[in-house]
Amino acid sequence: MIINVGDTIKGNHGRTGEIINIGIATEVNDVAAENDTALNAKTYDTDLGYKGAVTYTNEQGGTYWCYFDQIEDNLTEKEKSDVDVQINLENEWWK
C-alpha cells in the first residue's frame, strides 16, 4: 500500500487520521524510526517491508502513531479509486 504525507489512514486500533510524518528506521533496534538516524519520507510503499511508523492526527486534535504493518487502509487512496471507478462508469454511459 502506498502512503503519503497528507493521506487519511485507518490504523488497526480503529483510529483514523491524516499522516503528518512517515519515519523509516535505519537501525535494527529502532523499529519505530525514533532515532536521530531515522529517515523522514513524503511517500512510502509498505510492500517494501522496511521498519518504521507514521504519525497522524485526527479531527479532534489527537496525535497518534502506528507501525507500518498496523495501517489497515489508506482511505485517501480508496476514495481516489472510488472516484476513478465512477468517472469510468460515467465515460462509458453508451455501453
Report the distance separating Cα 44 and Cα 13, nearest Å: 21
Look at the alpha carbons of 10, 15, 17, 21 in this order and tell me if their dihedral is positive or negative. Answer: negative
| Interval 25-40: pLDDT, tens | 999 999 999 999 999 9
Kindly give, in sequence order, each residue whose CB lies less than 8 Å from that of residue 55, ignoring residues fewer than 6 positions away: 19, 20, 21, 23, 63, 64, 65
Q: Which residue type is seen at 88?
A: N
| Interval 55-89: pLDDT, tens | 999 988 899 999 999 999 999 986 655 555 455 55
Per-residue confidence (pLDDT) for residue 94, from 0 to 100 = 54
pTM confidence score: 0.80
Report the distance separating Cα 33 and Cα 43, nearest Å: 15
Per-residue confidence (pLDDT) for residue 17, from 0 to 100 = 96
Q: For residue 60, what is its C-alpha cell? A: 479532534
Taking the domains of the chain in order of start, what are their residue ranges? 2-91
Per-residue confidence (pLDDT) for residue 27, from 0 to 100 = 96
